[in-house]
Amino acid sequence: MRLRGDTTQVIDLGDRMLLPGFIDAHTHFGNAAAWAMRLGLYDAGEPAEVLEAVARAARRLPEGLGLWITGGDIGAAAAWEADAAGRPRPAPLAIDRKALDSVATENPVLLRRIDGAYVANSLAIARARVPRDTPDVRGGRKERDASGELNGIFHGRAGERLAEAMPPPNLAQQIAGASVALADLARAGITSVHDVARLEEVSQRTFFHTFIERSATDLALFRALQAEGVRITPTVPATAATSHSASWTRRRSPRISRARTRRASIRSCTASAIARTGCSSTGTRPRSTRTLPVTAASASSTRGIRARARSSASGSSASSSTSRPSTS
């Protein structure tokens, strides 16, 4: 307390501990943004627990973007406990389309039960374009209520086709998911994360077979966040393919004949990205790195991110929905 002056503000924390902000040095932030819309329902033992989790997710996600709420293995904990004890598994929780509609009307909801069946709300069924009167596909079954309407429970191949019809998130939806992830990180005391960014000119598949990291966040997402005030420190290597990358590829990638061509194209892509983005050049690693500081201020700026995401989503979401094939 010797450094305390007349104007020093002293906050009594009582018995609580004060720690510096944590830095996560290895993340896949793009995956974290996607997981912001995914629910962990393993421990759910009652239908009310699942419905409350869905309602909570619907409240925290930005409106107007049509973000899908997903989750897997409902009731897994109880099923695994029964397996270990040699007892029959409990019956699946009684959740259907109408139950999900009661808590989520603006977001498509698609949940997977531990028995492999999928449960969807009305909006998810409509977005997937599941015809009401089509017969069941081979290896699948759609449950119906007493009036013949789909009750939202899909078994086997019918459920798999419903999941396959879910479109990948567009950039506006990724930004919205990232804003939720940023707020979660800030609440947990994580003030900075390090991630690997993938240049737009380099496909995810090329990145997978060429670099050490096995997934990377699209640079476009980081640029969008940076434009909204999230502090991002980019570092792009001067040469994206080095002997280090080549030797690792020879050890681990079975497609070495294609890797050399990929590395040559990535070198030119990286050079153009440096010129275009003004990133600093290190030349020390065979990959692109992004340091993404996350602070309380960054989390509060997500309101602006969500507003811009809503305004930019209308055209892209409309075009993607009209191009989806019918799913039976």
> Among 291, 236, 247, 242, which residue's Cα sits nearest to residue 269?
236
Residue whose token pair is 């509609």: 101
pLDDT at 74: 93
- The tens digit of pLDDT for each residue in 235-257 reads 554 444 443 443 333 344 444 34
Q: What pLDDT does residue 199 have?
A: 58
pTM over 0.75: no
The values of phi and psi at residue 278, to 5°, are: 75, 20
CB atoms within 10 A of CB 300: 13
**Which residue shows structure tokens 């997934």?**
215
Pull the structure tokens for residue 230. 């999230």
Domains and CATH numbers, the chain: 36-164 (3.10.310.70), 171-312 (no CATH)
Q: How far is CA 161 from CA 87, 112, 155, 314, 320, in A?
A: 32, 13, 10, 26, 18
- pLDDT digit string (tens) for the chain, length 328 residues: 678 888 899 889 999 998 899 988 888 777 777 777 889 898 898 999 999 999 999 998 888 888 899 988 898 999 999 999 999 999 999 999 999 999 999 999 999 999 999 999 999 999 998 887 888 888 999 999 998 899 999 999 999 999 998 888 888 888 888 888 888 888 889 888 887 766 554 555 554 444 445 556 777 777 788 787 777 765 554 444 443 443 333 344 444 344 444 444 444 444 444 444 444 333 333 333 344 444 333 443 444 444 454 554 444 433 333 334 444 4
Tell me what pLDDT residue 95 has: 94
The confidence score (pLDDT) of residue 200 equals 56
| Spatial separation of the C-alpha atoms in residues 36 and 69, rounded to whole Å | 9
pLDDT score, position 35: 75
- Give the residues across from 235 on adjacent strands: 280, 289
Task: Name which of 214, 283, 199, 201 is nearest 253 in CA terms.
Answer: 214
Give Dmax (Cα) for the chain.
Answer: 79
The whole-angstrom separation of Cα 32 and Cα 178 is 7
